[in-house]
Every structure is written in structure tokens, then in C-alpha cells.
Chains A and B, each alone.
Chain A
Amino acid sequence: MPLTPEDVKRIAFLARLGIDDADIPGYADNLSRIIAFVDQLNAADTSDVAPMAHPLDRVQRLRSDEVTEVDQRSIYQQNATGVEAGLYTVPRVIE
């Protein structure tokens, strides 16, 4: 089923991706082709197959709940565009 321009707009919004209107038909075409391509998986019989959870059949390693990180806020914040008093600044959310 081909994706419509509305589908592309909806997905782009879900992913918080700004897309120029002029580019939407191109993405609709590309994504439709990709989805049609992966649709061939439907032909595979997977009725008795458990989905893979880990390539090595292992479980995620756990660690004890101890504080291991030191405070490096000022170093980390050097990469941010907007910082004030140790806080990241964003446009006002609550009026």
C-alpha cells in the first residue's frame, strides 16, 4: 500500500522531523518503495518462530545500583547552544 503525502506528514511529525513541503512527494515515493520491499517478509512462514531478543541469546547484563558518575555538568553543557545558570534553555512552554 503506497504511502500518501498525509502519511509522510504524520510520520514526520511522530519523528519530530521538519520536512519541506516540496520534498514530501519524493519521500512518499521512496518510503512506499521501501515498505513494498520489506513487505516481502510476509511470505516467510514464522508461525513457530520466537522473535529474536538478542543476537547472542543473552540477557542484558545488570549492574548494582551504585553512583559511579561524577558531576560533569559544566563540561557537558559546553556543547549546548542555550545554557543559563546551569540549565538548558528552550522556548517558553508554560505561559
Chain B
Amino acid sequence: MVAALARGDITSTELTTDYLDRIQRFNSKLNAFVTVIADEALAAAANADKKIKAGEGSRLTGVPLAHKDIFCTAGVRTTCGSRMLDNFVSPYDATIVERLHAAGMVLLGKTNMDEFAMGSSNETSYYGPVKNPWDLERVPGGSSGGSAAAVAARLAPAATGTDTGGSIRQPAALSGITGLKPTYGRVSRYGMIAFASSLDQAGTLTTTAEDAALLLNQMAAFDPKDSTSVDEAVPDYVAALGKPVKGLKIGVPREFFDEGLDAGVEKAVREALDVYRDMGAEIIDVSLPNLGLSVPTYYVVAPAECSSNLSRFDGVRFGYRCDNPKDLTDLYTRSRGEGFGPEVKRRIMTGAYVLSAGYYDAYYLKAQKTRQLIAADFKRAFEQVDVLMGPTTPTPAFGIGEKSDDPITMYLNDIYTIGANLAGLPALSTPMGFVDGLPVGLHIIGNYFDEAGILAAAHQYQLQTDWHKQTPKGFA
């Protein structure tokens, strides 16, 4: 697409019209977009075409894009999947929105998501669940489920997402696309609505690793407006894709194959590892002995930070406000009670509980210690190997409503992805086959700031396989 645009084989206006037409035809089935901005998109496309013609375009100029509705966009509402922000229009753009806009990308609209990014199925959205394009009775994963479904059904060539415990990689796996979560601090979070500040990171959902590298080239940069942004050199991720797999040391943590892993998913991982072995990689058995602590650690740290971050929604300065509050406390409690959905309330209350007087040491402090143990396991593994591989999720996509009654069952779905967030490592998911007709993902975790290494490993795999080229039926 990038090459076709540059050559003039196709214009951005033609591309954008085509994607808008697909959204028009298929979004009612999927519920992937919350907001579509057709007029603005066509105007941006016309502008991009002028730039390309004048030879002023970048590689991304004229390429359509969707943003997860967690990124603030000036003039276009940003809901975060919540009634709380149903009418919220940000006064400014998030840094990555600004950077991708500056590169000439064309924004099609904003994608549906779990409310405040809290969920693994996209069922907690105020705007209703997103459907998996491979099976409309199933979830696309979450929380970046709208972005994943949109890219999987080719309603957008690329989308942004955020990943706090797996929210890019898990939906990418369940929807059959490529999802990248960079190192903590690699991509600016300015203008990205905060959930858990020590874990959140912005990334990409695309069909290929090459597209992810193209986007990351433009997204990764030091941002003085984000205090967690790191001032590290940004390599050319596209140029690094050619790095051969021969000699690559791939660690396979045995804990990723414990009880709970679907036999079909395990088979797909073993076959993917065979592909790497055939390309000359060395497969090494490693151990992450504290991996079992990652989900409980996460469910202390993330709710604690969310209860603090979400205290800004007070019904006064922005967001939902209840009718006729009788006093200030009533204004706060009713605005928040009516504005937030049940999963967000559950997490805020879990957070308030673990941070409350008498419990802080037993829960939050303890979890930050177990988190250190988990991170140390990863550091030890990376002394031996270049990347870690395993399944992204224990099973393929589950049914809508199937796990929504029991929060713990839902939380365990992120068992393989949460570790990388707790340790702050970069990781991605690439399509690696199908189980019962549903896509499953290969999880590749890299060392700190080695996005180039995991993208190259995924790209080389995608050159050998065509799982990432498969598209769901019914969206032709």
C-alpha cells in the first residue's frame, strides 16, 4: 500500500473511500468503531494526495488509520468506552495522534474498547461488545478489541492500541493479526487516558510486522510532555527487519506450557518453533519460576493505580455529571456511580481496598515485591537467550458472555501477557495458525528496547508462513 501510494498507482482518496465504504458495510456487524469521521478523513486524504504529488510525502502519507478511543483527538470525541466520557471532546491531540497526523496518515475514526481499557473481551464497553470477525458469536479479545476487529476485517489497514496487561497482544492473537507492545516508556503516553501508570504502553495493531515497524518508526520518540517517556535512541525498525533468524537464541519458558494451555494452541506453538528451527534458530528451554505470581500481582498493582488515576473523574471539570446533586459528596458518588460500569467499579474498589489503611503493606507493597521477582526471572532468562516465545493466549477466542460472570476466569486469560507489562519488556503477537477455525497467536517477548529484534523475528516468520494473510470469511 505504501509503495502503491508513492508510485501513484492508487490515491489516498481512493483508499480512504474504500475503507470508509467497508466500515459502512461491516461495522454494524462488528461494532468495531465508536466514531467514524468520513468527511474529515476524505479531506485529509485529498490533502495527502496533494503532498504525494508534490513529492513532499513521508512513507505513511495517505495511509488510513484508526485510533483506539483512549487517545485524545482534538475536535473528535474521546469516550474511552465509557458513559463517563460519552460527550468528551479533548482540547488537544495525544502525542502519537499528532505524530501520525504529521506523517500524513488519514484518521478514519475511533475504535471501540473495554471501558477504560479494563477487560480482556471488549464486553465492558458502554457501546456494547465488539464481535470477532472470525466468528460473530465470539469476543475479539480486549481491551483493544475494536482496533483488532477493524484490522482483522480490513476496515482499517492499521490501528493504535494500548497494552496494560495484554490489551494489544491478546486481541491481536484472538483476531488473527500482529500486535506490538513496545518497552515501557518507548512511546509517548501524553494524551492517552491513564489506567495503570506503571504498566500502560501504547502500540500498534496491524496485519504484518513490517507495518508495525513502519508505524513504530513514527511513534517512538522522546516526549518531554510524558514524564515516563525515555530519552533513548530510536533505531530504524524497518531497516532492521531483514536481520536473519539464523543463530537466534529462542528461549521457551516451560511455565508457558503448564496446565490450562489448550492442546491445539500448544501444537501450533510447537509448529511455529519448528519453522524457526528450520530457519537456523536455536531453541532453548528456560524457566520463569515466578510466572504463576504474575496474574495476582497484576490484580493488585493495576487496580491500585486505576483507583488513583480514575479519581480525576469527579463530575466537576469534565465527564458525566449526575442530575440535581444534593451536595458535593452526592455529586461525586452519583456521577461516578452512574458514569462508570460494573468492571471499572470492581477495579476501583479492589484498588481502594488494597490501598486502604492497614492493607497497603499486605497487598500493594507485597505485590511490588513479587513484581520484582517476576522481572528478575525475565532478566535472568535474557542473559541466556535473545527472545522468548510461547503462546499469546491459553485458548482461542471464547464466546461472548462465556466468562463475564467470573472475574477470575476472565483475568486468567492474560496469564502469558501480563509478565511483560510487569517487567516493562517489549512483546508482540503474530498469527501462527488456527484452532477450530479460530486464529491463535505466537507471543514473542524481547529484551528491553529490543523492539527491532522481535519485529525482525516476527517478520522473518511471516516471510515463511501465510497465517497473517488469512482473512475472515464474510468480509470480502
Q: Are B321 and A41 in contact (CB under 8 A)?
A: no
CA distance A77 to B318 in the complex (A): 8
Taking the nearest CB of chain B, how far is it from the CB of A75, in angstroms?
5
On whether A78 and B368 interact (CB within 8 A), knowing A34-B346, A41-B293, A49-B373, the answer reads no
**Chain B residues whose C-beta falls within 8 Å of the C-beta of A81 in the assembled complex:** 315, 321
Q: Are B369 and A51 in contact (CB under 8 A)?
A: yes
Of the candidates B327, B356, B366, the one whose C-beta lies within 8 Å of that of A46 is B366
**Chain B residues whose C-beta falls within 8 Å of the C-beta of A53 in the assembled complex:** 368
On whether A16 and B363 interact (CB within 8 A), knowing A46-B369, A56-B185, A80-B318, the answer reads no
Q: Are B316 and A90 in contact (CB under 8 A)?
A: yes
On whether A49 and B198 interact (CB within 8 A), knowing A18-B337, A41-B293, the answer reads no
Q: Residues of A within 8 Å of B, CB-based: how many?
A: 54
Residues of A within 8 A of B (CB): 3, 7-8, 11-20, 23, 27, 30-31, 33-35, 37-42, 44, 46, 49-56, 58, 60-61, 63, 72, 75-82, 88, 90-93
Of the candidates A17, A54, A88, the one whose C-beta lies within 8 Å of that of B333 is A17
**Chain A residues whose C-beta falls within 8 Å of the C-beta of B311 in the assembled complex:** 15-16
**What per-residue 1/0 map shows which CB atoms of B148-176 lie under 8 Å from chain A?**
00000000000000000000000000000
**Chain B residues whose C-beta falls within 8 Å of the C-beta of A77 in the assembled complex:** 317
Q: Are B346 and A40 in contact (CB under 8 A)?
A: no
Of the candidates B315, B345, B352, B423, the one whose C-beta lies within 8 Å of that of A55 is B423
Instruction: Tell me the interface secondary structure of chain B in the complex.
Output: helix
* B407 within 8 Å of A (CB atoms): yes
**Chain A residues whose C-beta falls within 8 Å of the C-beta of B329 in the assembled complex:** 16
CA distance A75 to B318 in the complex (A): 12
Taking the nearest CB of chain B, how far is it from the CB of A90, in angstroms?
6
Q: Are A30 and B372 in contact (CB under 8 A)?
A: no
Q: Are A35 and B353 in contact (CB under 8 A)?
A: yes
CA distance A55 to B332 in the complex (A): 33
Binds A, one of B114-122, B294-302, B383-391, B456-464: B294-302
**Chain A residues whose C-beta falls within 8 Å of the C-beta of B434 in the assembled complex:** none
* B140 within 8 Å of A (CB atoms): no
- Residues of B323-349 contacting chain A, CB below 8 A: 325-334, 336-338, 340, 342, 345-346, 348-349
Q: Residues of B within 8 Å of A, CB-based: how many?
A: 75
- Could you list 12 A-B pairs, sorted by A, with CB under 8 Å? A31-B349, A38-B297, A38-B367, A39-B296, A46-B366, A46-B369, A50-B372, A55-B422, A79-B89, A79-B318, A80-B318, A92-B327
Residue of A nearest to B89 (CB): A79
Residue of B nearest to A62 (CB): B227
CA distance A33 to B315 in the complex (A): 30
Q: Are B349 and A27 in contact (CB under 8 A)?
A: yes
**Chain A residues whose C-beta falls within 8 Å of the C-beta of B317 in the assembled complex:** 76-77, 79-80, 88
Taking the nearest CB of chain A, how far is it from the CB of B314, in angstroms?
8
Residue of A nearest to B323 (CB): A81
Residue of B nearest to A12 (CB): B349
CA distance A33 to B407 in the complex (A): 8
Q: Are B296 and A40 in contact (CB under 8 A)?
A: yes
* B12 within 8 Å of A (CB atoms): no
Of the candidates B199, B299, B315, B336, the one whose C-beta lies within 8 Å of that of A34 is B299
Q: Are B336 and A16 in contact (CB under 8 A)?
A: yes
CA distance A76 to B312 in the complex (A): 14
Residue of A nearest to B183 (CB): A56
**Chain A residues whose C-beta falls within 8 Å of the C-beta of B372 in the assembled complex:** 46, 49-52
* B88 within 8 Å of A (CB atoms): yes
CA distance A38 to B297 in the complex (A): 7
**Chain A residues whose C-beta falls within 8 Å of the C-beta of B185 in the assembled complex:** 56
On whether A15 and B325 interact (CB within 8 A), knowing A56-B184, A88-B316, A90-B316, the answer reads no
Taking the nearest CB of chain B, how far is it from the CB of A39, in angstroms?
8
* B230 within 8 Å of A (CB atoms): yes
CA distance A16 to B340 in the complex (A): 12
Q: Which 4 A-B pairs have the closest CB atoms?
A: A18-B337, A55-B424, A51-B368, A79-B318
**Chain A residues whose C-beta falls within 8 Å of the C-beta of B408 in the assembled complex:** 33-34, 37
CA distance A33 to B405 in the complex (A): 12
Taking the nearest CB of chain B, how far is it from the CB of A72, in angstroms?
6
